[in-house]
Amino acid sequence: GAVVSQHPSRVICKSGTSVKIECRSLDFQATTMFWYRQFPKQSLMLMATSNEGSKATYEQGVEKDKFLINHASLTLSTLTVTSAHPEDSSFYICSARDPTGAWNEKLFFGSGTQLSVL
């Protein structure tokens, strides 16, 4: 079946550094990808919608200059957390939509990235 690959699975960085997370669709071309964030014991919160070839659409309250999203190809979207701070520590998950089928069954999630900022 379709697979979405997300890397790295875990990253520890120093405060002030930038971290890039990659999300790849392996079996299909994803015109739309989504980035979520999850705090412990809380729900997945949508951060932004990434559209191939155009600017990402950010949800209210998400700083676009802080969380840079690039969707340069139909199989790759990246999320860069710039100048990371401890409060950015969280579990980040991407999802990608396979446009060839019913969307509810064609939305696949990556395995997530646990970011820890020291």
Partner 1 sequence: DQQVKQNSPSLSVQEGRISILNCDYTNSMFDYFLWYKKYPAEGPTFLISISSIKDKNEDGRFTVFLNKSAKHLSLHIVPSQPGDSAVYFCAASDVDSSYKLIFGSGTRLLVRP
**Chain contacts with partner 1 (rule: CB under 8 A):** 4, 6, 9, 32, 34, 36, 41-46, 49, 93, 95, 97, 103-105, 107-112, 114
* 63: DSSP letter: -
How near is the Cβ of 18 to partner 1 at its closest, in Å?
23
Q: Closest CB to partner 1 among 7 and 82?
A: 7
* Cα distance between residue 40 and residue 36, in whole Å: 13
CB 22 within 8 A of CB 93: no
CB 17 within 8 A of CB 61: no
Q: Closest CB to partner 1 among 93 and 117?
A: 93
Compute how many other C-beta atoms are within 10 angstroms of the C-beta atom of residue 10.
11
How near is the Cβ of 83 to partner 1 at its closest, in Å?
26
Q: Closest CB to partner 1 among 84 and 110?
A: 110
